[in-house]
Amino acid sequence: MIILFIFGLVIGAVAVIFALQNIDVITITFFSWHMTGSLALILILAIIVGIIITVLLLLPGSVANYFKYKSLEKENKKLEEELRKQKELTVFAKITPLDAEAVARIDHGSMAEGRDEQIS
């Protein structure tokens, strides 16, 4: 965390030096719109506008990836549950003969209850 703080201080110091060295007043003309300000202010403003445009262009892809991630996460949980059931079925089949009632108990996640009944 201290490294990030030091990095922030260095970036801040560079920004201050940049602003102090570029104090020339310039005029920007865009169609009929005119803006007058220091060179440093205009450059920083241009960088900020570029960052905002980049974020807006990347946002739809990020949102799509988020929903895809959530969908894959749900599918993964479903597959993990299916794998758990198959493992239980394999273990249970090694212990007892397989019949439709035992398979139904495993599918409903009550293998332990069936094992307790057989032990009694």
For the full predicted model, state whether its pTM sits above 0.85.
no
User: Residue 28 is encoded by which pair of tokens?
Assistant: 């920007």
Rg (CA), the chain: 32
Integer angstrom CA distances of residue 111 from 50, 56, 78, 92, 115: 60, 52, 19, 8, 6
Tell me how far CA of residue 42 lies from CA of 18, 19, 48, 80, in angstroms.
12, 10, 10, 55
For residue 111, pLDDT beyond 60: no
Q: How far is residue 44's CA from residue 22's CA, in Å, rounded to a whole number?
A: 11
Question: What is the number of structural domains in the chain?
Answer: 1
Per the CB < 8 A criterion, the answer to whether 42 and 35 are in contact is yes
Q: Which domain holds residue 9?
A: 2-119
- Written as one string, the DSSP assignment of 81-95 is HHHHHHHHHHHHHHH
Both structure tokens of 97: 């003969």
CB atoms within 10 A of CB 114: 18
pLDDT digits (tens, 9 = 90+) for 24-35: 898 988 898 888
pLDDT tens-digit readout, 48-62? 898 899 999 999 999
